[in-house]
Structure 1
Amino acid sequence: MANLKKNGNLSGAIGNIVFVNDGKRTFARVKPDKVKQTPETKAAAGIFGLVSAREKMFRLQLLRILGIPPIQYFAARHRARIRKTIVGNPATNSENTPQFGDPQGLAGFSFNPKMEWQSCTNFFPEVESTSTTEIKVHLPEIKWKTQIIPPKNCNSAVVTLFVISAYLNSIYTPVRVLSSIEMKISATDSFPAQEWVIPTDSAEGWLLMVGCVKFASKNQPLIAMDEFSAAYLWAQQVEG
């Protein structure tokens, strides 16, 4: 029902007409049609809620491990990428429960679009699955301005590689660091080539290698707001 205000404006509704006030002006508009929910739209809403909840728990743990700030719009971009790993559609089969599937679609995703991994690095770890209980990573020699491409006015960097397990199909979404390696690089310090062996017998869900490089200048030992890059470098689903 519409009501007449003291200033002469109408508020409320008559039938499917709604009166909207903007200061001294009054506008009339048609009520929007109600969206009819179908099994497909209900299923999509359920999957969105599942992805949002699990991705948030995963993301907060991951950012803490990397020691980097959340870049603007990162959550939305990351959630969209995680959504692509969902398999199963409850709208077509009630027993086909949605699951977080193969994570290989995450590989190459950059956390900081202002400084993508490929723009400031020139190396890529080679991963070898030696058995079901470990993986071996072959790392090349890392040199300043050869494998590490610094931004202007930066004179050193700390490169850290993490191999983590993440189980998004659990309501608790456990994330564990299986191993990490830190490399300090500058014009006078390089990092020798080596093989890095990571035990994976306790992993569940996904195996992910995440790289993070933080640049430093003489005035600022570590720049963590914009002068960093991080990315998923490799991903694999745990067998079993």
Structure 2
Amino acid sequence: MANLKKNGNLSGAIGNIVFVNDGDRIFVRLKPDSVKQSPQTKAAAGVFGLVSAREKTFRLKLLKELGIPALQYFAARHRARIWKTIIGNPAISPRFGDPQGLTGFSFNPKAEWQSCTNFFPEVERVSNGEMKVHLPELKWKTQIIPPKNCRAAVLTLFAMTSDLNSPSVPLKVLSKIEMEISATAAVSAREWRIPVEPPAGWLLIVGCVKFNTTHHATTVQQQFSATYLWAGLTEE
């Protein structure tokens, strides 16, 4: 609806025509076309909101456990991976049910896991609910590949469960092992046993290596590498 102002100009709209005042001048333009959303676009928007909320809750809890910072573009890349875990028809009842797509995701694009390490843990399911992870011998500059000016590193492996289908996104660390590695201190091969507590949704094994360097403290946050080494469901 258009209104007559004290200066004689019109403001507001009549039908598809909009009156725009700029001081003593008045302009007329057409209303912009409204965007009509289809049921599909509305459903996609709802799924995006769900993924964004659950991913953020999960990510903040995960980073706290790993003790690593969130680098630039980390959230968007991680959210894209979480989106890929949705199974079924997302427009009807989206569920986070395929965590295997997370495997290999790099938490630090400036120090990707495959460029900093050269070992592959072997995961074995045990009938009594346990999991066994077979780790090879780890040697400096062979299985652990350090950046320049680095003399030692701490490798930590986490086994944890999480359920993104729960609004609170609970995350629980089942077990973790920490190993110090340097040129004079290799780590012998070992077997890591993990108790599994179904049903708890996802079962994740995350690796994080932090390098001790002589660089200034402002660059320390770049001196780590982390990834999902294995991802599956607890009831498998």
Asked if structure 2 preserves the Cα contact closer than 8 Å seen for 1:207 and 1:236, the reply is yes
AA of the residue aligned to 1:74: F
Instruction: Report the alpha carbon displacement of residue 70 of structure 1 after superposing the two structures with TM.
Output: 0.4
1:201 to 194, 197, 200: 197
Partner of 2:68: 68
Indicate the percent of aligned positions where both proteins have the same amino acid: 64
Partner of 1:233: 229
- CA-based RMSD of the aligned residues comes to 2.8
Asked if structure 1 preserves the Cα contact closer than 8 Å seen for 2:199 and 2:235, the reply is no
Provide the C-alpha distance between the structure 2 equivalents of 1:102 and 1:69, rounded to a whole number of angstroms.
26
| Cα distance change of structure 1 residues 90 and 123 upon mapping to structure 2, 3 Å threshold | closer
Provide the C-alpha distance between the structure 2 equivalents of 1:132 and 1:212, rounded to a whole number of angstroms.
28
Instruction: Report the alpha carbon displacement of residue 225 of structure 1 after superposing the two structures with TM.
Output: 1.1
Superposition TM-score, scaled by structure 2 size: 0.86
Provide the C-alpha distance between the structure 2 equivalents of 1:118 and 1:218, rounded to a whole number of angstroms.
23
Residues 81-130 of structure 1, C-alpha deviations (whole Å, 9 max, x = no match) = 10011123364xxxx41110110011011011111100010001110111
Provide the C-alpha distance between the structure 2 equivalents of 1:215 and 1:170, rounded to a whole number of angstroms.
35
Partner of 2:120: 124
Residues 133-169 of structure 1, C-alpha deviations (whole Å, 9 max, x = no match) = 1100000011110001111111111111101101001
Q: Does 1:108 align with 2:104?
A: yes
Superposition TM-score, scaled by structure 1 size: 0.84
| Cα distance change of structure 1 residues 189 and 134 upon mapping to structure 2, 3 Å threshold | same
Partner of 1:53: 53
| Cα distance change of structure 1 residues 101 and 127 upon mapping to structure 2, 3 Å threshold | same
| Cα distance change of structure 1 residues 206 and 3 upon mapping to structure 2, 3 Å threshold | farther
Provide the C-alpha distance between the structure 1 equivalents of 2:147 and 2:13, rounded to a whole number of angstroms.
59
Q: Of the two, which has the highest radius of gyration?
A: 2
Q: Which runs of 5+ in 1 are unaligned?
A: none
Asked if structure 2 preserves the Cα contact closer than 8 Å seen for 1:161 and 1:209, the reply is yes
Give the SS at the match of 2:106: coil
Taking the TM superposition and a 5 Å limit, the aligned residue runs for 1:17-36 are: 31-36=31-36
Provide the C-alpha distance between the structure 2 equivalents of 1:231 and 1:199, rounded to a whole number of angstroms.
21
| Cα distance change of structure 1 residues 13 and 124 upon mapping to structure 2, 3 Å threshold | farther
Instruction: Report the alpha carbon displacement of residue 131 of structure 1 after superposing the two structures with TM.
Output: 2.3
Asked if structure 1 preserves the Cα contact closer than 8 Å seen for 2:198 and 2:234, the reply is no
Between stretches 175-184 and 126-135, larger displacement belongs to 126-135
Instruction: Report the alpha carbon displacement of residue 3 of structure 1 after superposing the two structures with TM.
Output: 10
Residues 164-203 of structure 1, C-alpha deviations (whole Å, 9 max, x = no match) = 1010011110000011111111111111100000000255
Equivalenced residue count is 228
| Cα distance change of structure 1 residues 219 and 48 upon mapping to structure 2, 3 Å threshold | closer
Provide the C-alpha distance between the structure 1 equivalents of 2:109 and 2:98, rounded to a whole number of angstroms.
24
Provide the C-alpha distance between the structure 1 equivalents of 2:12 and 2:235, rounded to a whole number of angstroms.
60
Between stretches 199-208 and 169-178, larger displacement belongs to 199-208
Give the SS at the match of 1:50: helix
Instruction: Report the alpha carbon displacement of residue 30 of structure 1 after superposing the two structures with TM.
Output: 6.0
Q: Does 1:180 align with 2:167?
A: no
Provide the C-alpha distance between the structure 1 equivalents of 2:21 and 2:113, rounded to a whole number of angstroms.
50
Provide the C-alpha distance between the structure 2 equivalents of 1:83 and 1:12, rounded to a whole number of angstroms.
43
Provide the C-alpha distance between the structure 2 equivalents of 1:59 and 1:236, rounded to a whole number of angstroms.
17
